[in-house]
Copies of this chain bind each other. A is one copy, B any other.
């Protein structure tokens, strides 16, 4: 493919801002190296950004053998973003600063199958946004448990929510008058992980979530893989056994039927480890208390996950596997089965692939969605399309004239 020099300055100015936001203050020389731009251009661009009030000069850094670097830092009030996580029973919303820090959170019950669903969603977001600070709001990121045709369009197919071609992006955009980016929730998480988490240092990573279900996002050559219809990363329906429980998808032996939360609960009930009406918390408590039958259930799940991920390491050759999600709270129990199965199933040449478990917070999903907005400056290939351009535009415009914010 040829280079896309369209709107280069726009992309480069934003890339500087994003880099400062993601990696903290940096010198002009560091930025030039990181973004593959000439020092000459960095001088020019940083001058513009300084006069626009988007960045400012910080203290000098001690010399590293030559002239000491004058650091550049973001002006924190330059912008903020709103992230939305849509689940099958609630909506979580967060407001994050341009540097990725969470400023405000909210969570409310929500019925995605209701006919008034879209109006309700708009209403909730309007109220949340109204309560925010007065720094420019750059846009809204939405994470959904399903396939999204394109981030900028935001047409969602999510069987678990009962959605078929739900026009989330277009509707929110029209009603809120803001740039809106919609993406699969695991992919959004991967974007956040790449900006702020461990993925920052890895251009090829496999990001796996465990919780109510199991999901994955694929980072290759620094970008999150979407696939032809935005559906890449669906590892829950990898066949891992020739005969096994019947999955919701109609098949036997899907990975999900062994390791999803409901699968663990089902197994625990069958084996009498927990009461017929008890749930995952009972199983977790039993395992934490050292009940062998309970820890075995987690360990077996870890075993299945380990084998499946080893297969994916062979297919994708990532540098690292990063595990996230509500289920990571029980990782100590999973790892008993995971580690031996994973390592044994790997070819010798791949046996060194590290597996990292990131700390998980309640609002991580929504934070990931917000990262969609804050990541747009990196989006040179136009993954976010027109909406990404609008986000960049708002960042530059509103900072230049901070008076009328929507």
Contact = CB atoms under 8 A, between A and B. Distances in A.
Interface of A: 1-6, 8, 11-12, 15, 35-37, 147, 157, 159, 202-204, 216, 218, 220-223, 225-242, 249-251, 307-308, 310-312, 314-319, 344-345, 347-350, 378, 380-381
A11 B3 contact: yes
Contacts of A345: 237, 239, 251
A314 B249 CA distance: 12
8 contacts: A1-B36, A204-B228, A230-B317, A233-B315, A235-B314, A237-B311, A239-B311, A251-B345
A381 B11 CA distance: 17
A3 B349 contact: no
B2 A11 contact: yes
Contacts of A317: 226-234
A237 to B, nearest CB: 5
Contacts of A225: 220-221, 316
A214 to B, nearest CB: 12
A356 to B, nearest CB: 15
A218 B318 CA distance: 14
A312 B315 contact: yes
A225 B6 CA distance: 25
B314 A347 contact: no
A204 B227 CA distance: 6
A370 to B, nearest CB: 21
A144 to B, nearest CB: 14
Given A231-B350, A344-B251, A238 B3 contact: no
Contacts of A204: 227-228
A2 B6 contact: no
Contacts of A221: 223, 225, 381
Q: Which of A11, A216, A225, A318 has the most CB of B within 10 A?
A: A225
